[in-house]
Amino acid sequence: MKKCIACGMPMNTPSEFAMGDTSKDYCVHCARQDGSMQSFEEKRLSLIDFIVRTQGFDRTAAQEVAEAMMKKLPAWPDDLG
């Protein structure tokens, strides 16, 4: 099992990989429509929205949670201090 380098999601089946390509290191949720990986800011905003929608946090709390999570992921070593 691979984990997405941009969000940490486990990727078990081809449909969970960007463009169904199991050689990619990021998931379908972290890919743009052309198959490239979202930028740091695109992923940060998408995670904040996801956390607000699914966890009921306000935007400020969701931003803190998203950034704390992203700090632990290999895709963003230089984007969060």
Q: What is the DSSP letter of 13?
A: S
Nearest to 68, CA basis, from 41, 37, 42, 47 = 47
Tokens of 81: 């201090």
Q: What is the DSSP string of 21-66?
A: -TT-SSBGGGB-TTSPBPPHHHHHHHHHHHHHHHH---HHHHHHHH
Residues 17-74 pLDDT 10s: 999 999 999 999 999 999 999 999 999 999 999 999 999 999 999 999 999 999 999 9
Tell me what pLDDT residue 33 has. Answer: 94
Tell me what pLDDT residue 81 has. Answer: 61
Q: Check pLDDT > 90 for residue 78.
A: no
Q: How is the chain split into domains, by residue range? A: 2-71
Count of C-beta atoms within a 10 Å radius of residue 48? 20
pLDDT tier, 77 (very low <50, low <70, confident <90, very high otherwise)? confident
Partners of 37 in the β-ladder: 31
